[in-house]
Structure formats: structure tokens, C-alpha cells
Amino acid sequence: AKEEGKNDYRFFTSDMNARAMERLRIETDLRKAIEEEQFQLYFQPTKHLGQEFISSAEALLRWQHPTYGMVYPDTFMSVAEESGLINQIGKWVFKSGMAQAAKWHSQGKRVQISINVSGRQLRQPHLIDEIMTQLLETNCDPTLIEFELTESAILEFPDKAIEILRKLRAQGFSIALDDFGTGYSSLSYLKQLPVDKVKIDRSFISGLPDDKDSRILVEAIIALSHKMGLSVIAEGVENEEQLDFLETQKCAKIQGYFYSRPLSVDAFEDFVRRHSHP
Ligand code: C2E
Ligand code: CA
Ligand code: CA
Ligand code: CA
């Protein structure tokens, strides 16, 4: 985003040694970030077509680095995954996402919050216990929380992943399939996954409405999801033409810069206020 390319971490060189050093530095800084809670959640409102008020948002992780300023997930997520630190970071994300949902709820605003969960987190032995602990500690209603997982994260260990998703749904959480269309499985495999929602990947939306393949694929995903009783959201909607196409296709929800960028809590609350009563 806006301030990128100044003092952020950069892989200046293709030199393998320098790259490894840089990753090590990120890992060291991440450990400190966990201890000092240098993280923040941003919230990107999602738009339900035909509905003016905001009732859902995706929580997106931001790192307020003491010297580099805001660092985005693309810079540190692969290090967090490989080092396993994503488990501790993820725990913080569960806690703050749930705390925020509970806080807004207590103020009379129901905002369903989508929380990203990576493949590595799914392999964590006590993931469900941890989620349930955070739920109780934050006093959050589980129907306010949706977990987003990619198809590829699920397919690493499908049996185990499916079992986890079933348990989460039984507790009242909902599940969305993130980046849909980029994975390897066929559309028909969807039937076997315990999910409530399909999130069409940005790469297909960016081709709309001109690219024929994107059009065909998006139409097919929407039609099939509806037939299977799943809700659909399109991510990465950046302009009116894309929105018009999706509306025509009866895609009920959209998310993207055209509607709103991810916002800090304060900015999100302002946005909600501006989108409530006339
Ligand atoms: P994602 O889950 O696919 O999230 C969507 C990404 O697209 C976000 O990037 C969001 O800011 C960006 N985006 C939203 N609308 C638009 C648009 O209209 N155009 C474009 N070009 N981009 C848009 P962000 O926040 O940098 O996050 C990147 C990825 O990092 C996420 O992709 C997700 O895989 C991961 N991530 C973010 N937060 C968390 C987290 O709390 N836990 C885990 N495990 N992963 C996270
Ligand atoms: Ca996501
Ligand atoms: Ca996505
Ligand atoms: Ca993605």
C-alpha cells in the first residue's frame, strides 16, 4: 500500500545468504512483536448487496514495527509459517478478533468477523481448545465469527482438516473457503467440505467483465455454490464494472477497495456510522 518501498524489509538481493539473514531478522523481530503485542487488526467491511448497513468484515493482520512502521502480511507471513510463530500470532488474532466482535455486540452492533486461519494452524494439536478458550475469555458469540481457510490448507491433511471444521461448525462458528478457484480440487469436491461460504479469488474478479475465462468461471462458481446452498462473496472488487457484473450474476456479497479498504478500528467505526441511518 501507500508507504511501501521506503524502510520496509526488502529482499534487496538475490544473494541466498542475504535472503536467509533477512528472514532470520524478521523471525527475531516477530518474536519480540509477539511479546510486545505489536500487532493490530484492520477490518475490511464486506458489502451485502441491497443492504446499506455493515454487518460483516474481514480481520486482517497488521504489524506496527517500531522502526519500519506498518508491515503487511506478505512481508512476514511466510516467515511466521515456516518458523511456526503463526501459531502464537494466530492465538493473538483469535483473541483480538473475538474481543472486538464481542465489544461491538455489547454496543448493539452485530458485526460478523472473518478470521484467517492458515494450514499450519490447522495442524496445531490443540487448535479447537485454544479457540474455545478465547471464546469464553472474550465472552464472544460464536455466530459472530467465521473462519477463512484456503482449499489448499484443507487439502494438506483433508481428513484432519474436515474433522476440525465439523467441530468448529458444531460450536456455532461458520467457515468460508478462501481464494476459491485457485486450488487443485474440482468444483464437485466442494460438496464434501463442511463450509458455509465460498470466497471467489481476486484473480478471477480482476479479469471481469472483459476476460471470457474469468467470466465463465465466476458464473459457474456462483451458480454451483447457490445450488449447493452456499453463500458466495467476491473479493478484490475494485471498480463499478466488476460490481455490476457480480450483481447481474446474483452474487450476494462483495469485498474490495471499490467499497472500502481495510480500516483501523476507529476508521471502521466511522464507516459503520456513516453507513447506518440516513
Ligand atoms: P487474503 O485472506 O486473501 O486477504 C485478502 C487480501 O486482499 C488482503 O491483503 C486485503 O487487504 C487485500 N484486498 C482487499 N481488497 C482488495 C482489492 O480490492 N484489491 C486488492 N489488490 N487487494 C485487496 P493483506 O491484508 O495484505 O493480507 C494478505 C494475506 O495475508 C491474506 O490474504 C491472508 O492470506 C494473510 N493474512 C492476513 N491476516 C491474517 C491473519 O490474521 N492470519 C492468517 N493466518 N493469515 C492472515
Ligand atoms: Ca481471507
Ligand atoms: Ca482471499
Ligand atoms: Ca490470498
ipTM above 0.95? yes
Q: Which residues pair with 114 in a beta bridge?
A: 58, 146
What grid cell was written down for 214? 474469468
**Whole-number pLDDT of residue 2:** 44
**Which of 270, 245, 264, 236 has the alpha carbon at shortest distance from 47?**
236
Check whether 5 has a pLDDT greater than 50.
Answer: no
Q: pTM for the full model?
A: 0.94
Q: Report residues near ion ligand 2: CB below 5 Å.
A: 116, 148, 178
Ligand nearest to the Cα of 255, by number: 1
Give the closest residue (by CA) to ligand 1 atom 3.
Answer: 179
**What is the CA 126 to chain-centroid distance, rounded?**
21
DSSP annotation of 273 reads: H
Cβ–ligand 1 distance for 72 under 6 Å, the answer yes
Q: Which residue has the higher pLDDT, 230 or 277?
A: 230
From ligand 4's centre to the CA of 224, what distance in Å? 22
Cβ–ligand 1 distance for 61 under 6 Å, the answer yes
Q: Judging by beta carbons within 10 Å of its beta carbon (0-12, 13-18, 19+), is residue 5 exposed, middle or buried? A: exposed
From ligand 2's centre to the CA of 179, what distance in Å? 7
From ligand 2's centre to the CA of 120, what distance in Å? 15
Q: How many whole angstroms separate alpha carbon 251 and alpha carbon 245? A: 9
pLDDT digits (tens, 9 = 90+) for 65-113: 999 999 999 999 999 999 999 999 999 999 999 999 999 999 999 999 9
**What is the CA 22 to chain-centroid distance, rounded?**
26
